[in-house]
Structure 1
Amino acid sequence: MARIRNFTPGPVEVSEKVLAAQYGSQGLHVGPEFSQAYVRATRNLQPVFGTDGYVAIVPGCGTLANEMAVRALLDEGQTALILDAGYFSNVLRKSVEGCGGIAVLLPVEPGRPADPDQLRSALGQQQIDLVCFTHVETSTGLLNPVEALAKVASEAGVPVLVDSVSGLGTAASHMDDWGVTIMTSGSQKGLGSVPGLGLVAVSDAAWPRIAQKKSPRGGFTDIRRWKEQLEAAPDWHPSLTTMPVGVVHALDVALLEMQTEGLETRYARHEDARAFLCDAMEGVGLELQIEEGSRSPGVTGVKTSGAFRSSDLVRYLIEYHQIRIAGGFGANKEEVFRVAHMGDNACRAALRPVIAGVKAFLD
């Protein structure tokens, strides 16, 4: 059977070196070899997040990372305002409610980014204890203006949680400079690694707030315990629990590859890939889901405009072109298809077969 190349928004294609690191000989989650890789990965994640603060690498996913972040900042009965830009904004809602918080959704106009003025107005109308939103909304390809939104929340004295599961590694992040309290991500998207890890970056300014929390923090989900473990045994047992060792080594290699490429070069490559794909889709008469200026560098949503079902295109590309893309979400499932241009796929050479396949389908 022919190999199918993934252009889905996670998991993404990864380099041979990353795969080799994952599938090497089984190692222990304690001892110098693992500890060096784990600690090095946490440090190499700091400039990607744009923070001098602590970064936790935990077994799991971005959703778990979000729940850990919510548990760190929000007491039971407190209110989180969530900027509702799509499916994964509602995943944030479930994390808030699952931790005993009250979730208030602030709708974001379809196709457009969240409005800082709208956020400012909402914060002036009721007591809000936490603001949450996605850096990139994976379900649509929307890139939110994190800096402007975080500034509004900071002016109101409200901490900010940013879900950057689809943003990190594809779009610049400067969480310390932007005033972001906590930012989360996962290993399997813009970082160019394999699934299995959740990431939680905590600004130095967050710790007094975390210390004030009164309701239960959980055991595994208590971000303080992860930080304490790393500080207590960085050379032997830096993680709180047994880790997927191969996945940590894969992330370590992926971050070293990013370091070699350079972050600014990497971001420019993703932006060029986005422009190349968007121009091609508009060139064949298709409409893009997000307005220009707010399109993610890592994933693009394209409307079918009722001309075909996205699932038919997805099947066609798999069967005839050995390419896997993604459909839409929810009510728009058949009205949108999504192409990810992350990691090794963020280049024109990788995207040309996708564009050719879409053209052949339309013909």
Structure 2
Amino acid sequence: MTHIRNFTPGPVEVSSEVLAAQDGPQRLHVGPEFAQAYMRATENLQKVFGTSGHVAIVPGCGTLANEMAIRAMLDVGQTALILDAGYFSTILKWAVEGCGAKAVMMPVPEGKPADPEAVRAALAEQKIDLLCFTHVETSTTLLQPIEALAKVAQEAGVPVMVDSVSALGTCLSRVDDWGIAVMTSCSQKGLESIPGLGLVAVAENAWPRIEAKTSPRGGVTDLLRWRNQVEVARDWHPSVTTMPVAAVHALDIAVGKALSEGLDARYDRHSTARDFLCDAMEGLGFDLLIDAGSRAAGVTGVKTGGRFNSSELVAYLVENHGLRIAGGFGTNREEVFRVAHMGDHASISALRPVLAGLESFLATQS
């Protein structure tokens, strides 16, 4: 099979060490080998999330992690304010409504981050029980001012749930210091591992709220069960259910790799790669989807400017250069292309072939 290198915002290209974790005979989800990998990964993830609280590694994806986090924090009839910055904000709305709560959508101006003062005003207008937003909105590549938004919510006495699916591992996260109640992510994006796992980090001060929940908690999706399982069986069976075992071992290696590099160095590398790509795109006459200062460190959105359909570029790069990028999302599907720079692809040398392929494509359009 021809290897097409992924510059998509997940699943991303992964290292040979991570891929090797899938090799060999089938392994069990119980016993000391699995328990050690699971617990080591959760403890290392605490450092990435920036929390001393519990981190649950669950089978599935970031979307499921979001639903578990929101369900844990909301009772039936309560209200969540969701900062509507794109498609994945709508996914948060589904999760809120799916647990019997009310979702209030607050539009975020296109290409701009949410204004903390506008959020402050919205929180004062009605009783809000939870503030939800995406750290990075994958569909638009917008990075939210997470610390400032969390501070406003904290001052209003409203807990915060953050979807960091496209951000964790590419930029700073400080769950505890920023006063975030729950933050979610997944294995196959900024952490540079394979798909199959959702992640939920719960700050210690969020547990009283979770424990006080009166409406149904779910079964396997109940975060209390995941915390309690670790407390009673961390050395043998720390997960509530059967896990994708290879994915846990791969994540263990990937997170260890990130910590060995050093998180600050890793974040600097991602922002350097982003800035290089953005400068190069502007040098080719393209406009960026997001204003400077609010661009994600792991994925960049570029406007086609009507010069071509993004699907034409995506297909050309696959066929002629063995590279896969992403088109736009939703209504801007053909008007935007997105290039991810996560993990080992967050480097100038890794991005040069993408630029060469783009220049080659542009030559065919003249």
Q: Same fold (TM over 0.5)?
A: yes
Deviations 1:96-124 (A, max 9, x none): 11111110100000111111011001011
Report the counterpart of residue 167 of structure 1 in structure 2. 167
Q: Find the aligned partners of 1:125 and 1:188 in 2 and give their Cα distance.
A: 38
Q: Find the aligned partners of 2:35 and 2:212 in 1 and give their Cα distance.
A: 31
Amino acid at match of 2:110: P
Deviation at 1:360, TM superposition (A): 1.2
Q: Find the aligned partners of 1:23 and 1:100 in 2 and give their Cα distance.
A: 43
Q: Find the aligned partners of 2:80 and 2:33 in 1 and give their Cα distance.
A: 41
Deviations 1:235-286 (A, max 9, x none): 1001000001000000000011111101001000000100110011000000
Report the counterpart of residue 303 of structure 2 in structure 1. 303
Q: Find the aligned partners of 1:49 and 1:25 in 2 and give their Cα distance.
A: 32
Q: Secondary structure at the match of 1:2?
A: coil
Report the counterpart of residue 243 of structure 2 in structure 1. 243
Q: Find the aligned partners of 1:75 and 1:228 in 2 and give their Cα distance.
A: 21
Amino acid at match of 1:165: V
Q: Find the aligned partners of 2:278 and 2:362 in 1 and give their Cα distance.
A: 16
Q: Give me the identity figure in percent.
A: 70
Q: Find the aligned partners of 2:189 and 2:24 in 1 and give their Cα distance.
A: 21
2:322 is the counterpart of 1:322:
yes
Q: Find the aligned partners of 1:318 and 1:244 in 2 and give their Cα distance.
A: 30
Amino acid at match of 2:65: A
Give every structure 1 segment of 4 or more consecutive aligned residues whose post-TM-superposition deviation is greater than 4 Å.
none
Query: Do the aligned residues in 2 keep the contact of 1:165 with 1:186 (CA within 8 Å)?
Result: yes
Deviation at 1:306, TM superposition (A): 1.2
Q: Which runs of 5+ in 1 are unaligned?
A: none
Q: Secondary structure at the match of 1:272?
A: helix
Q: Find the aligned partners of 1:209 and 1:333 in 2 and give their Cα distance.
A: 40
Report the number of matched residues: 363
Report the counterpart of residue 349 of structure 2 in structure 1. 349
Amino acid at match of 1:162: V
**Matching of residues 288-299 of structure 1 within 5 Å:** 288-299=288-299
Q: Find the aligned partners of 1:224 and 1:23 in 2 and give their Cα distance.
A: 33
Q: Find the aligned partners of 2:252 and 2:25 in 1 and give their Cα distance.
A: 16
The TM-score normalised by the length of structure 1 is: 0.99
2:264 is the counterpart of 1:258:
no
The TM-score normalised by the length of structure 2 is: 0.98
Report the counterpart of residue 66 of structure 1 in structure 2. 66
Amino acid at match of 2:238: P
Query: Do the aligned residues in 2 keep the contact of 1:24 with 1:246 (CA within 8 Å)?
Result: no
Query: Do the aligned residues in 2 keep the contact of 1:32 with 1:235 (CA within 8 Å)?
Result: yes
Deviations 1:44-100 (A, max 9, x none): 000100000000000000000000001110011111000000010111001111111
Q: Find the aligned partners of 1:245 and 1:291 in 2 and give their Cα distance.
A: 41
Deviation at 1:305, TM superposition (A): 1.2
Report the counterpart of residue 133 of structure 2 in structure 1. 133
2:280 is the counterpart of 1:280:
yes
Deviation at 1:40, TM superposition (A): 0.3
Deviation at 1:226, TM superposition (A): 0.4
Q: Secondary structure at the match of 1:280?
A: helix
Amino acid at match of 1:262: G
**Matching of residues 163-202 of structure 1 within 5 Å:** 163-202=163-202
Q: Secondary structure at the match of 1:8?
A: coil
Q: Find the aligned partners of 1:217 and 1:22 in 2 and give their Cα distance.
A: 33
Deviation at 1:212, TM superposition (A): 1.2
Q: Find the aligned partners of 2:128 and 2:11 in 1 and give their Cα distance.
A: 34
Amino acid at match of 1:74: L
Deviation at 1:211, TM superposition (A): 1.2
Q: Find the aligned partners of 1:330 and 1:271 in 2 and give their Cα distance.
A: 26
Q: Secondary structure at the match of 1:265?
A: helix
